[in-house]
Chain A
Amino acid sequence: MLQPIIPEIDAFLHEPARLRVLAFLAMVDAADFMHLLRQTGLSRGNLSVQMTKLEDAELVDASKREVDGRLRTAYALSPKGVNALRGYKATMEEILAALPG
């Protein structure tokens, strides 16, 4: 059987909400939940679900920090997350290059 020419897209990373979060975290060293909420435009519930999934997949690392006596969770891309995004970007560049300009 012939191998497909079009490479397989990582469906987990390709999900729009998760991709927005990951793209944002790729630009910064870390951001807390509130900042991600403001910058991605996702709802609180959706972001919470996506962050749990990303943590479970070990694509992001979470750390707690205290601000004015309240614990806040800061998120950063894990090394596994960085590698996954590199692979995703290479795949998408290959696919997007085939599209009409």
Chain B
Amino acid sequence: MVNSLEQKLFQRYWDDGIVDLIGGVAVLFIGVGYLMEQVLAEIVVVPLGVVAWMILRARIVEPRAGYVKLSRSRRERSGRELAATVGVGTGMLILFVALGVKVRSGDADLSRWVDGLPALLMALPVLMAGALIRARRFAVYAAVFVLGAVSGVQMGFGPGAPLMVGGTVMGVVGATLLARFLAGARAFQQTE
């Protein structure tokens, strides 16, 4: 019973939408990077995203929802899972950069399937991040990336467009969750 309550607490920890919002903006930024042929700029996205999450959590969530330090066993487990997710995410970024450079160098054979690959590859760390924070909505985001990749290739969009679509979906859902969290916090303060 305690385990299921702890699991519920851990899931709620991520329900404020900030991780979705930052993740969405980060992916949108990567997509824009592809459009502007600034593929190397992607490297700064992950560390900037982590710092932004920490700042927003401390500035927006904690003053309203309070501070909690999760149990050591949960933090250790999350740490291991996060390391795996960051590893996969970093691998994807390296692959993106390599593919971006290849496309820029004008390899025509690669260009068609390469266009859908970034969004397809993005689905994997997004799915892993969803498993990490036990949030099913991340499976929907991953599906959006896969659909974006497939339809992007068929319609002849560049590699940036599917990422921008997926990033926008994540960002909009995140902003909606954050607005709901803030409204809930206001209602809670009024009943106090």
- Summarize B's interface: helix, strand, loop or mixed: helix
Q: How many residues of B contact A (CB 8 A)?
A: 18
Q: How many residues of A contact B (CB 8 A)?
A: 21
From A27, A72, A74, give the contact of B6 (CB < 8 A): A27
A30-B69 contact in complex given A23-B2, A38-B188, C-beta closer than 8 Å: yes
Q: Chain B: which residue is nearest A35 at the CB level?
A: B66
CB <8 Å contact, B63 and A68: yes
Q: How many A-B residue pairs have CB under 8 A?
A: 53
Complex CA gap A74/B62 in Å reads 12
Closest chain A CB from B82 CB (angstroms): 18
Complex CA gap A76/B101 in Å reads 52
CB <8 Å contact, B65 and A28: no
CB <8 Å contact, A27 and B63: no
Complex CA gap A55/B64 in Å reads 24
CB <8 Å contact, A23 and B5: yes
From A26, A31, A44, give the contact of B67 (CB < 8 A): A31
From A29, A32, A68, give the contact of B66 (CB < 8 A): A32
Q: A34: CB under 8 A from chain B?
A: yes
Contacts of B6 in A (CB 8 A): 27
Q: Chain B: which residue is nearest A29 at the CB level?
A: B69
From B5, B58, B72, B192, give the contact of A44 (CB < 8 A): B192
Complex CA gap A67/B188 in Å reads 20
Complex CA gap A29/B64 in Å reads 20
Closest chain A CB from B16 CB (angstroms): 12
For chain A, residues 56 to 101, give those with C-beta under 8 angstroms from any C-beta of chain B.
Answer: 65, 67-68, 72, 74
From A23, A26, A29, A32, give the contact of B70 (CB < 8 A): A29
Closest chain A CB from B39 CB (angstroms): 38
Q: A36: CB under 8 A from chain B?
A: yes
From B5, B58, B65, give the contact of A35 (CB < 8 A): B65
Q: B105: CB under 8 A from chain A?
A: no
Q: B56: CB under 8 A from chain A?
A: no
Contacts of B9 in A (CB 8 A): 27-28, 39
CB <8 Å contact, B62 and A67: yes
Which of B5, B67, B71, B188: most chain A CB closer than 10 A? B67
Top-4 shortest CB links A-B: A35-B66, A34-B66, A29-B69, A32-B67
Beyond the given pairs A27-B5, A28-B9, A31-B69, 9 more chain A to chain B contacts, judged by CB atoms under 8 angstroms and listed by A's residue number, are A31-B68, A34-B64, A36-B66, A38-B66, A38-B188, A65-B67, A67-B58, A74-B67, A74-B69
> B residues near A, CB below 8 A?
2, 5-6, 9, 58, 62-72, 188, 192
- Would you list 10 pairs from A and B whose C-beta atoms are within 8 A, ordered by A residue? A27-B5, A27-B6, A27-B9, A28-B70, A28-B71, A31-B69, A34-B66, A35-B67, A37-B66, A68-B63
